[in-house]
Amino acid sequence: LDHQVKVRGYRIELGEIEAALLAHEGVRETVVVAREDVPGDVRLVAYLVAAAGTPPGAGELREHLRERLPDFMLPAHFVTLAALPQTPNG
Tell me the C-alpha distance between 62 and 66, whole Å: 6
Query: How does pLDDT run across 24-53, given as a tens digit for each residue?
Result: 999 999 999 999 989 988 999 999 999 988
DSSP 45: E
Percentage of the residues of the chain whose pLDDT score is greater than 90: 73
Q: How confident is the model at residue 22 (pLDDT cuts 50, 70, 90)?
A: very high
**pLDDT score, position 1:** 53
The identity of residue 63, as a single letter, is: E
Tell me, what's the pLDDT at 2? Answer: 60
Whole-number mean pLDDT of the chain? 92
